[in-house]
Every structure is written in structure tokens, then in C-alpha cells.
Amino acid sequence: MAALALCGAEKTFTMHLRGGMRLPVVAGVEFSVEPGECVVLAGPSGAGKSSILRMIWGTYRCDRGAILVRDGAAMVDVAAATAREILRLRSRVIASVSQFLRVVPRVPALDVVAEPLGRAADEEPRAAAEAMLRRLNVPERLWSLPPATFSGGEQQRINIARGFLPERPILLLDEPTASLDAANRARVVELIGEKKRRGTAVVAVVHDDDVRTRIADRIVDVTQFTKPSEP
């Protein structure tokens, strides 16, 4: 049974400050992801790959169709869910690694990573966060520092650690390896493999051909969902 299914999902931006200009993003998005499967969304920049991830996460509202997420025995339609239902999915069902880390002033890297599990002051979340940071080769001297001053690659590894830490049935990955060196890319590929073996349904956007061939069970071409511009 699918962990996630998009059924005719559609998104158009209406730009009121541009005279109500309508900017079609995607339409008729149709694919599903089984537990333990990794689906990679492919297509050129601007085809709507990241937008589809944001629709699943609930950041972008879905204008039409359904985005069904399995939560235990129930299926929740993100397109029709209340804010509270989406928050519950985010805290229990879906994990996500965005393209960039949103840094919060003063919060140390270790706390950022541990947050989805709890407070870094508590033994269990801290130990798990430390282990994940070690696997991603983040030097220990950085753990107690806020990531604002970190390099792009370091920030991205903090972001990855945070997204991979909780065990959730669904994992969304938006360019997780973009700013990483070969060794860390390999480490992320390894982590994705582990998630799949534990039954996580993964939806990823990756530009790196090598990473894509190593993680993808199936490739969904997003250009088929491109909606022609309206007159």
C-alpha cells in the first residue's frame, strides 16, 4: 500500500501585484511512492520539482486534486487538511530536508539537529544528534556553535542531519547533496539506502547523475506535468 499518492495535484500562483498574472506551476501530478521506495523527480530547472515537494510538505497550497499521505491506518489528504493536521503529519509522518538551512540566531548546531526528537539537553536526542553529526563528518568543535557562520556545505550537512534523524514513514529531499564533496555525497547516499531498507518512502530532487542512479528506484519526469501558460 502506498505511503504517499498524488492524484491530479495542481498548483498555480496568482500574482496580485502583477495585475493578477497567473503563473502555472504543475497540473495533473500523478504518482505514488511505496514504503522502502525512492522516487526521484527529474526535469529542468523551473519544471516544478521543488514545488511538488513543497506541496507534499504543505507549504504550497494545492489548488486541485489530492495529496494522500498514509498516517497509520488512515489516509490524510494534505490538499484538504487543516493547519493542525498538517502540523501533525510534520511531527509524526513526514521528514524533510530543504535546499537551504534556515538558521535561527543563537541556536547551536546540535540543538538544530536534535530538535525533531526533542531537546538537546536530554540524553537520547543529544546522543542521536551527535551520532548523526559524526556520520556526516561535522567537526565536533562546531556542534555548540550556531550554524549562521558555517560554510554552505557545513550548513547543508546540519540540515541533512536534522532531516534524517527522526524515523518517519516519508522523507522529502530537495537537492540534499548539492553543496557536498564526494565523500559526504557518498555518506548521504548510504543514509538514503538505510532509510529505504527500514521502509521509508523517499521522494527526492537531485541533479547529480551519479547520486540519482544510486538512490532512485523510479524516476518521475516532471515535464509531463507542465501546464501550458494561460493567455
Partner 1 sequence: MNGADEPLLIAEGLTKWYGRQLGCRDVSFDIHEGEVLAVVGESGSGKSTLLQILSSLMTPDAGCVRYRMRDGVTRDIAALTEAERRFLFRTDWGYVHQDPAAGLRMAVSAGANVGERLMAIGARHYGRIRGSALDWLARVEIDPDRIDETPQNYSGGMRQRLQIARNLVTAPRLVFMDEPTGGLDVSVQARLLDLLRGLVAELGLAAIVVTHDLAVARLLSQRMLVMKGGAVIESGLTDQVLDDPREAYTQLLVSSILPP
Q: Does 80 contact partner 1 by CB under 8 A? A: no
Nearer to partner 1, 61 or 64 (CB): 61
Stretch that binds partner 1, among 55-63, 65-73, 163-171, 175-183 (CB under 8 A): 55-63
Write out the chain in H/E/C secondary structure: CCCEEEEEEEEEEEEHHHCCEEEEEEEEEEEEECCCCEEEEECCCCCCHHHHHHHHHCCCCCCEEEEEEEECCEEEECCCCCHHHHHHHHHHCEEEECCCCCCCCCCCHHHHHHCCCCCCCCHHHHHHHHHHHHHCCCCHHHCCCCHHHCCHHHHHHHHHHHHHCCCCCEEEEECCCCCCCHHHHHHHHHHHHHHHHCCCEEEEECCCHHHHHHHCCEEEEHHHHCCCCCC
Distance CA 94, CA 90 (A): 5
Q: Does 17 contact partner 1 by CB under 8 A? A: yes
Distance CA 153, CA 144 (A): 17
Among 21, 23, 30, 61, binds partner 1 (CB under 8 A): 61
Question: Could you tell me which residues come within 8 angstroms of residue 84 by beta carbon, excluding any fewer than 6 positions away?
Answer: none
Stretch that binds partner 1, among 100-108, 171-179, 185-193, 201-209 (CB under 8 A): 100-108
Shortest distance, position 121 Cβ to partner 1, whole Å:
9
Stretch that binds partner 1, among 64-72, 84-92, 126-134, 182-190 (CB under 8 A): 84-92
Site string for partner 1, 112-151 (x = CB under 8 A): -------x--------------------------------
Q: Does 60 contact partner 1 by CB under 8 A? A: yes
Q: Does 105 contact partner 1 by CB under 8 A? A: yes
Cα distance from N-terminal residue to C-terminal residue, the chain: 40
Q: Does 197 contact partner 1 by CB under 8 A? A: no
Nearer to partner 1, 17 or 182 (CB): 17
Number of chain positions touching partner 1 (CB under 8 A): 19
Nearer to partner 1, 172 or 216 (CB): 172
Q: Does 22 contact partner 1 by CB under 8 A? A: no
Q: Does 104 contact partner 1 by CB under 8 A? A: yes
Binding footprint of partner 1 on the chain (CB under 8 A)? 13-17, 54, 58-61, 83-84, 86-87, 104-107, 119
